[in-house]
C-alpha cells in the first residue's frame, strides 16, 4: 500500500471555556491514502466536523489543536500542518491548493455577489497565478467536468440562478480546481434531495478515481458510507470507537455503538423488524469521562468500563475497535 498522503497522529482538539481547557477529541490517528475514501461516521457533536476543520488548521478560538501532528506528504517533503500558524501564508498556500474542502450547505457556501465562474477562478488565480481570462476558461472546463450543462453560459451565472445540486457541483469544481491531494467533504450531500445525493456521490467517486485524490468524507448517513467509502472510522464523543474497511464494518460491526447505529436503520431488503434506537443521548463534552465514552448507553457495559478507557482491540489486520467487552472475549 502506498504511503499515506495525509497522516494524523495523536490529534486532539480542545476548547477553552472560562479559562479551562476542555478536550473535545481524544488523540486520534488515521491516514488518508491517494484515491481512497475514508469516511468518518458519528452522530452530531461527536467531533467529526472539528476534525475536518483541524485538517485545514481552520479551528477558530476558543477551539484549537491541543496536541498531535497532521503530516501532509508532498512530492519531496512532509509538512506538519498542526505546527503551522493558522494565519500564516504557508498555511494559506496549503488550503485550497493541497487540501480542499466541500461544505455541507450549497445554498450558503457560495458568495452571492459574484458569478460562480469568478469564484472558481479566484482559487486558480490565488494558487496557480493564472491570469483572469485563463482562469475563467479553466473554470468552464471544471464546470463541464463536474457535469454542468452549457458550462460556458453557467460560468457567468450567480449562485441564486442555480439549483442546490448544481451549486454543490460548483462547490466541488472549486474544490478540485487546483488539483488538491486531499479533499475534505463535510456532509456534502446532507442538504440535497436523495436523487441529487446519488448523483453527487457518483460524481465525487468518478473525480476521485480520475484525479487520484485522497478523500475524507464526513457524514452521519450510513447509506452514504456504503456508497462511497473504502474505509470507515466511527467516532463517539471525540474518540474513535471502531475502524474497518467498509464491507467489514457494515457486514460485521463489532463495537456496541456501531452495532447500535446499524440496528437503528431499516433493512433495505424490505424485511420487517422493529428498529432499535440506541437508548439515551450523547452526554455533553464537559462531563469528563474516565472510562469508555459509550458506557452509559452500552447494553454490554462491564464494571471496568466506567473507570478505565477501553483498549483498542485488533480484530483483523484492518479492523479494530475500542471496547473492554471485545478485549475480554478476544
- Distance, in Å, from the CA atom of 264 to the CA atom of 220, rounded to the nearest integer, reads 13
CA distances from 316 to 89, 184, 254, 255, 325 (A): 42, 27, 11, 14, 16
Q: Is 227 in the site for another protein (CB under 8 A)?
A: no
Among residues 72, 94, 130, 240, which is the contact residue for another protein, using CB under 8 A?
A: 94
Residues binding another protein: number (CB under 8 A) = 29
Instruction: Please select the residue that binds another protein; options are 1, 18, 87, 268, rule is CB under 8 A.
Output: 87
Is 108 near another protein (CB under 8 A)?
A: yes
Judging by DSSP bridges, how do beta strands 37-41 and 231-236 pair with one another?
A: parallel
Least distance from another protein to the Cβ atom of residue 136, Å: 16
Nearer to another protein, 204 or 292 (CB): 204
Q: Which of residues 271-330 bind another protein (CB under 8 A)?
A: none
Q: Pick the closest to residue 94 from 180, 157, 173 (CA basis).
A: 180
Smaller CB distance to another protein: residue 99 or 278?
99
Stretch that binds another protein, among 3-11, 106-114, 150-158, 234-242 (CB under 8 A): 106-114
Closer residue to another protein (CB): 22 or 58: 58
Q: Does 122 bind another protein (CB under 8 A)?
A: yes
In whole angstroms, how close is the CB of 265 to another protein at the nearest point? Answer: 28
CA-wise closest residue to 103 among 154, 56, 136: 56
Helix (H, G, I), strand (E, B) or coil at 257: helix
Q: Which three cell numbers stand for residue 319?
A: 479492523
Q: Is 187 in the site for another protein (CB under 8 A)?
A: no
Alpha carbon 243 to chain centroid, angstroms: 14
Q: Decide: is 109 part of the binding site for another protein (CB under 8 A).
A: yes
Instruction: Confirm or reject binding of residue 79 to another protein (CB under 8 A).
Output: no
Burial class for 49, CB neighbours closer than 10 Å (0-12, 13-18, 19+)? middle
Using CA atoms, how far residue 164 sits from 18, 110, 192, 215, 221, in Å, is 40, 11, 7, 22, 19
Cell readout for 273 is 423488524
| Binding site residues, another protein, CB under 8 A | 56, 58, 61, 87, 89, 92-97, 100-101, 103-105, 108-114, 122-123, 126-127, 171, 174
Amino acid at each position: 500500500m502506498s504511503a499515506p498522503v495525509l497522516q494524523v497522529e495523536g490529534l486532539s482538539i480542545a476548547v477553552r471555556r472560562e479559562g479551562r481547557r476542555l478536550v473535545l477529541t481524544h488523540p486520534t490517528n488515521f491516514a488518508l491514502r491517494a484515491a481512497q475514501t475514508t469516511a468518518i461516521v458519528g452522530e452530531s457533536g461527536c467531533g467529526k466536523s472539528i476534525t475536518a476543520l483541524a485538517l485545514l488548521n481552520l479551528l477558530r478560538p476558543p477551539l484549537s489543536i491541543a496536541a498531535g501532528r497532521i503530516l501532509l506528504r508532498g512530492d519531496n517533503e512532509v509538512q506538519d500542518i498542526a505546527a503551522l500558524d493558522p494565519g500564516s501564508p504557508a498555511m494559506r498556500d496549503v488550503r485550497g491548493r493541497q487540501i480542499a474542502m466541500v461544505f455541507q450547505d450549497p445554498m450558503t457556501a457560495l458568495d452571492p455577489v459574484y458569478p460562480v465562474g469568478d469564484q472558481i477562478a479566484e482559487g486558480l488565480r490565488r494558487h496557480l497565478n493564472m491570469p483572469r481570462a485563463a482562469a475563467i476558461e479553466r473554470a468552464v472546463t471544471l464546470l463541464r467536468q463536474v457535469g454542468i450543462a452549457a458550462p460556458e453560459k453557467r460560468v457567468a451565472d450567480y449562485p441564486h440562478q442555480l439549483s442546490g445540486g448544481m451549486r454543490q457541483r460548483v462547490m466541488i469544481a472549486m474544490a478540485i480546481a487546483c488539483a488538491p491531494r486531499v479533499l475534505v467533504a463535510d456532509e456534502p450531500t446532507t442538504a440535497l434531495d436523495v436523487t441529487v445525493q446519488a448523483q453527487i456521490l457518483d460524481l465525487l467517486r468518478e473525480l476521485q478515481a480520475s484525479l487520484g485524490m485522497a478523500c475524507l468524507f464526513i457524514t452521519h448517513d450510513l447509506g452514504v458510507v456504503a456508497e462511497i467509502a473504502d474505509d470507515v472510522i466511527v467516532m463517539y464523543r471525540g474518540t474513535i470507537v471502531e475502524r474497518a474497511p467498509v464491507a467489514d464494518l457494515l457486514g460485521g460491526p463489532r463495537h456496541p455503538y456501531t452495532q447500535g447505529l446499524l440496528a437503528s436503520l431499516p433493512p433495505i431488503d424490505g424485511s420487517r423488524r422493529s428498529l432499535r434506537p440506541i437508548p439515551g443521548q450523547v452526554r455533553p463534552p464537559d462531563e469528563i469521562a474516565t472510562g469508555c465514552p459509550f458506557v452509559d448507553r452500552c447494553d454490554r457495559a462491564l464494571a471496568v468500563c466506567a473507570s478505565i478507557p477501553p483498549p483498542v482491540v485488533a480484530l483483523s489486520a484492518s479492523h479494530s475497535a475500542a471496547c473492554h467487552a471485545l478485549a475480554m472475549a478476544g
